[in-house]
A and B are shown apart, each in its own frame.
Chain A
Amino acid sequence: MRYLKPATRHIAKGALALLLSSTALQFAVTNSAIGAMKNSVTLGMSLEPPHLDPTAGAAAAIDEVVYANVFEGLTRIDRNGVVKPALAESWSVSDGGKAYTFKLRTGVKFHDGTVFDADDVKFSLDRARGEKSTNAQKRLFKAITSVDVVDAATVKITLSSPAGNFLFNMGWGDAIIVGSESAENNKTTPVGTGPFKFSKWTKGLSIVLAKNDGYWGEQKVLDKAEFRIIPDAAAAVAALLAGDVDGFANFPSPEAIPQFQADPRFTVMVGSTEGETILSTNNKKKPFDDVRVRRAIAHAIDRKAIIDGAMFGLGTPIGTHFAPHHPAYVDNVNKYPHDIAKSKALLAEAGFPDGFKATIKLPPPTYARRGGEIVAASLREVGIDLEIIPVEWGQWLEQVFKGEVKDYDLTIVSHTEPQDIAIYANPGYYFQYDSKAFQDVMEKLNATVDTEGRYALMRQAQNIISEDAVNGYLFQLAKAGVWNAKLEGLWENSPVQANDLTEVHWKE
């Protein structure tokens, strides 16, 4: 069935093009009439959040609904990836970067009417780092040794060692501030301080948010926002064309993008994400423990073929594990240019003149399944014969990612956590990369607070992993948004996985 689908889509699209030309005018008229009147938005999303509590799960879909809309943290990440004040009005850093004093906003209320104050901050952070915590990013809070309420509007957080990323970390969805009275039920009825309050969730279909009239901020927001869950890519195209949804912040099928680009009724915005898509390599397993083999693979990879073939041209090639839109990014794309001869030479040098056999485990996302086939074809050219093993997420997590023995050779996955290069400092991480030089740089980075100093260290770190060719660096996942041309204010990039609706509005 899966294999038939793309072909069917083309046939359907052909039929559509014929019929559409005659009815486009009629459609445009009805559509604009709706657009002018309404003060609500319906956005499609392909994955349904399992629940709506960002402090209790890793699913990106949770944040895509509630981050900045329903819940707020001390700080927040804005559309450019910059840390901005949120529930904390201002802050000061003392004790050599080991103490943060946050001045909180006053007059803020949770959606259930309870007042937000310093106790809620202490409650939320202690809950997230506590023994029974089921916070998916508990490590964000690892450095905290104590959270002290100075007065109702002041909180002092003490760290065990300076953490240069602390303010950014407090802006993650996992670090949002919850009310002590409502926290238990946030999974099903989220109660936050944001400009939207939770209204209704029809499981499997849609989540509705309504304007929070008592919001502390000054933004004029929509009256209503609905997220509609549409898992099938062809159905997503139809829903957009039929006007059932106003847009997709993350459009699930790159192959349909040109169709919308050519259609004046829609805006197509191709931006960047924090998703480094990489050919993860088991650095402890033979023969991948040999840097020459890893470099040979790096030379064999054809990034352009992968981006064009798997993503229909959407995606920026990368040469290291860092987002290209970040100011500290180092462009190492040409460090290992696509060069079959060089790759073969390196393999011969490593003792594999005739190549070898290995496996590649591919999780379900399109980038992995399609990208994996192209990678396998490229590697076959230099004699590396890859057996493709498709796996489900559950299997991937258990076999590749967790467990004492990392049961894989190669895999493809997009690492979507923002600024996550520090994972290379953990030898137990599934790459099994163990470099003293890299770990030292990370340690220094943790202790550095000034921006320029941090950037210099980030660059150094990027160069080390490029030099060691730890993984095959493929491309930065693009965020392709498609929405009604009259809709404005959605994010172009996703520095964090969110659909911040605070600036979304309809153009006159």
Chain B
Amino acid sequence: MLYYLIRRSVSLLLTLALSTIVIFMVMEIVPGDPALIILGIGATDETIAALRQQMGLDLPLLTRYFQWVSGVLVGDLGTSYTYSVPVSELIAERSIVSLPLAIIALTLSTLIAIPTGILAASKRGQVTDTGIMGLTQLGIAIPNFWFAMLMVYIFAVILQWVPAGGFPGWDQGILAALKSLILPAIALALPQAAILSRVTRSALLEALGEDYIRTARAKGLTRSMVLWRHALRNAMIPVLTIMGLQFAFLLAGTIIIENVFYLPGLGRLIFQAITQRDLIVVESTVVLLVASVILINFLVDITYAWVDPRLQSERG
């Protein structure tokens, strides 16, 4: 197990180091001068030069890269060009929206997907199975922003149960905050649940077809005992993989849903920063996200090893 952990950690760090270079280079190659964007079309050349100097953009590329990376290493993510506040502050403000949203959405999706997936697998070929699979098809096919808008019109405009968007902040009470997050969480969760449900079903069916299941059945275990005791655990690996990917997506890939509900989340922060060429915000935020994705994958890997002890001894 220890060897496995060390090997994983090394590849984690290498990936992270490589990603800083890629992120930095990509942002530098994209055309668009941050100073020009801030000052607009009425600015004189000398003003633009003054601002570039103030922002440190006149320094050579390598110097800036090392300044940034060494800052990130000690936890200093830099200061936003446009907002003029520390990037870490911006990320913290956005994370208290994005993180709970991702967690709620993932929880909802798991709560929906796993039971329906198991149910569909256990009733394979029956009406329940066909029904659930039909619904998941629909869940994948319906664009989530469209579904989100529909929910807004029903629950915010007509019934007025929840606000149409925005986020009051956690200081306004947990209930008020949850009210703002529930529709976006549902909108995010449904397509994810649909995918996860299908994965659960097929993983389970595959496991149920294995030899050891036949052996277990031959020993006299009932269908459902076999399913719960043997098949489910073995089916968890692909399910966990998908869940890991989904959580990573939910952290920042939710820009469209954040737009529909005008939530101040991480996705919108990055999007806005890219259009304004707030390079430092994009670079630092993306690197942090990459780090968290790598970390999540790392955790998923460890969970694999726990679920499937064979992986621990695997070498090469």
* Residues of A participating in the B interface, judged by any CB pair closer than 8 Å: 1, 4-5, 8-9, 11-12, 15-16, 19-20, 23, 27, 30, 48, 50-51, 56-59, 131-139, 187-188, 202-206, 228-232, 234-235, 238-239, 241-244, 364, 392-395, 397-399, 401-402, 415, 417
Q: Give 1 or 0 for each of B39-68: 1 = CB within 8 Å of chain A CB.
A: 111111011001100100000000000000
Q: How far is the CA of A15 from the CA of B154 in the complex (A)?
A: 9
Chain B contacts for A4, CB-based, 8 A: 143, 146
Q: Which of B157, B167, B256 contacts A205 (CB 8 A)?
A: B167
Task: Check A57 against B39 for contact (C-beta < 8 Å).
Answer: yes
Q: Does B83 contact A (CB under 8 A)?
A: yes
Do A238 and B157 touch across chains, with their CB atoms under 8 A apart?
yes
Q: B139 an interface residue at 8 Å Cβ cutoff?
A: no
Q: Could you tell me the distance in whole angstroms from the C-beta of B188 to the nearest C-beta in chain A?
A: 15
Q: Which one of A58, A231, A242 contacts B156 once the chains associate, using CB atoms below 8 Å? A: A242
Residues of A within 8 A of B41 (CB): 58, 397, 401, 415, 417
Q: Which residues of A contact B93 (CB under 8 A)?
A: 202-204
A-B contact pairs, 15 of them (CB 8 A): A12-B146, A16-B157, A23-B159, A27-B158, A58-B39, A132-B54, A136-B42, A137-B42, A202-B93, A202-B169, A232-B262, A239-B164, A244-B166, A394-B34, A401-B36
A131 to B54, CA, bound (A): 12
Chain A residues with Cβ below 8 Å from B51 are: 134
Contacts of A243 in B (CB 8 A): 160
Residue contact A138 to B43, C-beta cutoff 8 Å: yes
B201 within 8 A of partner (CB) = no
* A205 and B264 contact, Cβ closer than 8 Å, known pairs A20-B158, A402-B36: yes
Residues on A with C-beta less than 8 A from B264 are 202-205
A23 touches B158 (CB 8 A): yes
- Shortest Cβ distance from residue A174 to the other chain B in the assembled complex, whole angstroms: 8
Bound-state CA distance A220–B233 (Å) is 69
Interface residues of B (CB under 8 A from A): 30-34, 36-44, 46-47, 50-51, 54, 82-85, 90, 93-94, 143, 145-146, 149-150, 152-154, 156-160, 163-167, 169, 256, 259-265, 268-269, 272, 275-277
Closest Cβ of chain A: how far from B50's Cβ, in Å? 6
The smallest C-beta distance from B230 to any residue of chain A, in angstroms, reads 43
Q: Which residues of B contact A417 (CB under 8 A)?
A: 41-42
What is the CB-to-nearest-CB distance from A247 to chain B, in angstroms, rounded to a whole number?
A: 14
Q: What are the residues of chain A within 8 A of B159 when measuring CB–CB?
A: 23
> In this complex, what residue of B is CB-closest to A8?
B146
Chain B interface mostly: helix
Instruction: Please report the C-alpha to C-alpha distance between residue A505 and residue B135 in the assembled complex, in whole angstroms.
Output: 50
- Expressed in whole angstroms, the minimum distance between the Cβ of A246 and any Cβ of chain B is 13
| Closest Cβ neighbor of B30 among chain A residues | A394
Kindly list the 4 A-B residue pairs having the minimum CB-CB distance in the complex, ordered from nearest.
A394-B32, A58-B40, A204-B264, A50-B82
Tell me the nearest residue of chain A to B163, going by C-beta. Answer: A244
Q: How far is A163 from B244 in the complex, measured between Cα atoms in Å?
A: 65
Interface centre among A5, A58, A204, A242 (most CB of B within 10 A): A204
Which residue of A48, A58, A238 contacts B38 across the interface (Cβ within 8 Å)? A58
User: Inter-chain contact count A-B, CB under 8 Å?
Assistant: 187
Complex CA–CA separation, A230 to B167 (angstroms): 12
Chain A positions within 8 Å of B32 at CB level: 392-395, 397-398
A234 x B260 contact (CB < 8 A): yes
With a CB–CB cut-off of 8 A, which chain B residues contact A402?
33, 36
Q: How far is the CB of A170 from chain B (nearest CB, A)?
A: 16
User: Is B275 a contact partner of A135 (Cβ separation < 8 A)?
Assistant: no
Cβ A59 vs Cβ B40 within 8 A = yes
Q: Which of B36, B82, B163, B276 contacts A242 (CB 8 A)?
A: B163
* Set A12, A136, A397, A415: member contacting B47, Cβ < 8 A: A136
Question: What is the CA–CA distance of A21 and B47 in the complex, to the nearest angstrom?
Answer: 55
Collect the chain B residues with CB atoms within 8 Å of residue A137's CB: 42-43
**Given A134-B50, A205-B264: A238 touches B164 (CB 8 Å cut-off):** yes
User: Would you call A244 and B164 a contact (CB within 8 A)?
Assistant: yes
- Residues of chain A contacted by B94 (CB below 8 angstroms): 203-204
Whether the Cβ atoms of A131 and B50 lie closer than 8 Å is: yes
Smallest CB separation, A66 vs chain B (Å): 15
- Tell me how far the C-beta of A176 lies from the nearest C-beta in chain B, rounded to whole angstroms: 16
Shortest Cβ gap from A260 to chain B (Å)? 13
In the complex, the answer to whether B39 meets A238 with C-beta atoms within 8 Å is no
Q: Are A134 and B164 in contact (CB under 8 A)?
A: no
Indicate if the CB atoms of A15 and B150 lie closer than 8 Å.
yes
What's the minimum C-beta distance from B173 to chain A, rounded to whole angstroms?
16
A136-B39 CB under 8 A given contacts A19-B154, A235-B260: yes
In the complex, what distance in Å separates the CA atom of A135 from the CA atom of B156? 42
Q: How far is the CB of A22 from chain B (nearest CB, A)?
A: 8
The distance in angstroms between the C-alpha atoms of A403 and B85, with both chains bound, is: 30
Q: A226 to B154, alpha carbons, bound, how many Å?
A: 26
> How far, in Å, is A415 (CB) from chain B's closest CB?
8
Complex contact A394–B33 (CB within 8 A):
yes
Nearest chain A residue, comparing its CB with the CB of B84: A187
**Chain A residue with Cβ nearest B154:** A19
Q: Are B42 and A12 in contact (CB under 8 A)?
A: no
